[in-house]
Amino acid sequence: MTNPFGTTISSEEVLDNLGFFDSWEDRYRYIIDLGKELPAMSDELKTDDRLVRGCQSQVWLEPIPSDEVLTFEVDSDAHIVRGLLAIVMSAYNNKSAQDILSFDIESFFAQIDLLKHLSPTRGNGLRAMVQKIRAIAEATKS
């Protein structure tokens, strides 16, 4: 299964779709459904060195660099966190390091109104995911 995030499922599409829902209960359902669209990560990749520190749930992140774009294999043991990963992937997957670094993720989260609706530990975990991806992009940029 190819990862649709960053290609067929873009940050703009996620933003538009979340705007259709009036209640956060419906938005959460949509976010969980987004997580179901993420391809499964093989168990061999779910190692301690791929864990994102600072997340309440277990989150694994494996960058797959190429000459032009970064793609990521991601997974979590929690449904809502898989959905949050999907949102992050809609912005960052299949993008150049420069595109990742120039994307205003805080503005994106603000437009979704996401961080207000997450527990502080989930919000910190979300920021930890973003920081790890940005650090990978920074390291591959040079």
Q: Of 93, 85, 70, 75, nearest to 3 (Cα)? A: 93
> Roughly what angle, to the nearest 10 degrees, separates helices 11-19 and 24-36?
150
Q: Does the active-site annotation cover 77? A: no
Q: Catalytic residue among 18, 34, 55, 61, which?
A: 55
Token readout for 28 is: 């959460």
DSSP 6-42: TTTB-HHHHHHHHHT-SSHHHHHHHHHHHHHTSPPPP
> Which letter, b or e, does each residue of 122-142 get, where b requires 16 or more Cβ atoms within 10 Å of its Cβ?
bbebbbbbbebbbebbeeeee
Which residues form the catalytic set? 55
